[in-house]
């Protein structure tokens, strides 16, 4: 098992309870967050990373992203339930957005939060469409297409529900 090796972080993502139990029984020193377990996170890495969710239904994907960022050595800050339906909650956090070195936006429905955040912060923004939503959300396809079509220049978009991939993108974007 990789978790028994001495090199680098080991990240188990999208695991069910049985898989997590089997892995942590054999290698009990992992830290679990949601459906993700991290062994031997990298030592502190510079960079202020903000993970922003539009709604509470986006939290499982955000938790995967946060756990993966921790594995890479970051100390991310999670800002939840600040979607465009309650934009006053986002505007209360503008200073955090301006101070961030990278921002991950996790949003379902129509995915508008990514464009809004991309217009506020000068930092790189990684957008994660989620499969949550109703009506014409189409299991994340609507959010994905909106993020790909964003007028916020330079927005990086990963696949639907890919919190792990968003964290990997941040790790590539920020030096260290």
Q: What's phi and psi for 61, nearest 5 deg? A: -70, -40
Q: Give pLDDT, residue 131.
A: 96
27: left (phi over 0), alpha (psi -120 to 50) or beta: beta
Measure the CA–CA gap between 170 and 160, rounded to whole angstroms: 17
Q: Give pLDDT, residue 1.
A: 59
Q: How many CB atoms lie within 10 A of CB 157?
A: 25
Does the pTM surpass 0.85? The reply is yes
Q: Give pLDDT, residue 107.
A: 97
b/e per residue 2-16 (b: at least 16 CB within 10 A): ebeeeeebbbbbebe
Q: Give pLDDT, residue 2.
A: 67
Tens place of pLDDT for every residue, the chain, 176 residues? 566 677 778 899 999 999 999 988 888 888 888 899 998 888 888 899 999 999 999 999 999 999 999 999 999 999 999 998 888 999 999 999 999 999 999 999 999 999 999 999 999 999 999 999 888 888 999 999 999 999 999 899 999 999 999 999 999 999 87
Measure the CA–CA gap between 154 and 61, rounded to whole angstroms: 22
Domains (ranges, CATH) in the chain? 1-40 (no CATH), 43-173 (3.40.50.1970)
């Amino acid at each position: 098992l990789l978790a028994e090796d001495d090199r680098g972080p080991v990240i188990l993502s999208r695991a069910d309870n049985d898989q997590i139990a089997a892995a942590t029984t054999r290698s009990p020193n992992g830290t679990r967050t949601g459906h993700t377990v991290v062994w031997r996170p990298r030592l502190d890495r510079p960079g202020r990373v903000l993970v922003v969710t539009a709604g509470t239904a986006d939290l499982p994907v955000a938790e995967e992203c946060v756990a993966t960022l921790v594995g890479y050595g970051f100390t991310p800050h999670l800002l939840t339930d600040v979607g465009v339906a309650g934009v006053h909650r986002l505007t209360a956090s503008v200073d955090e957005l301006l101070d961030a070195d990278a921002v991950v936006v996790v949003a379902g429905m129509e995915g508008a939060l990514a464009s809004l955040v991309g217009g506020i912060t000068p930092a790189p923004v990684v957008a994660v469409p989620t499969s949550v939503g109703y009506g014409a959300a189409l299991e994340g396809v609507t959010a994905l297409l909106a993020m790909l079509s964003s007028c916020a220049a330079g927005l990086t978009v990963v696949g639907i529900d890919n919190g792990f991939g968003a964290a990997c993108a941040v790790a590539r974007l920020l030096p260290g």
